[in-house]
């Protein structure tokens, strides 16, 4: 059923670390490597959202559309 020689031959990659430490190290590595791509995509999305709102606001000013300007600007916005 099982080949005992293969089971005995297996050695952990990092013998000094336990499973919790290895899992924590893997989780930290994943978070570090994924962070830059997440921020870059988020910044591009934010920039596009601001650009869209700016275009909508400019059109609302030209058309004197108070409802749209009120929707875009914050309630505590002060000129």
Pick 65 or 77 by higher pLDDT: 65
- Residue-wise pLDDT for 8-55, tens only, equals 666 666 666 677 887 888 899 888 887 766 666 777 888 999 999 999
**Predicted pLDDT at 37:** 63
- The alpha-helical segments, DSSP class H, found in 1-79 are 4-9, 19-63, 66-72
CA 73 to the chain's CA centroid: 26
φ/ψ of residue 75, rounded to 5: -65, -30
pLDDT higher than threshold 80 for residue 1 = no
The owner of tokens 């990092």 is 14
Pick 6 or 24 by higher pLDDT: 24
pTM: 0.48
Contact 72, 57 (CB under 8 A): yes
């Amino acid at each position: 059923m099982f080949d005992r020689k293969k089971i005995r031959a297996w050695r952990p990659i990092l013998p000094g670390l336990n499973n919790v430490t290895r899992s924590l190290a893997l989780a930290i590595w994943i978070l570090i490597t994924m962070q830059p791509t997440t921020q870059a995509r988020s910044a591009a999305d934010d920039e596009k959202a601001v650009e869209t709102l700016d275009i909508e606001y400019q059109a609302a000013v030209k058309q004197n559309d108070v409802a749209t300007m009120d929707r875009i600007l914050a309630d505590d916005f002060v000129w």
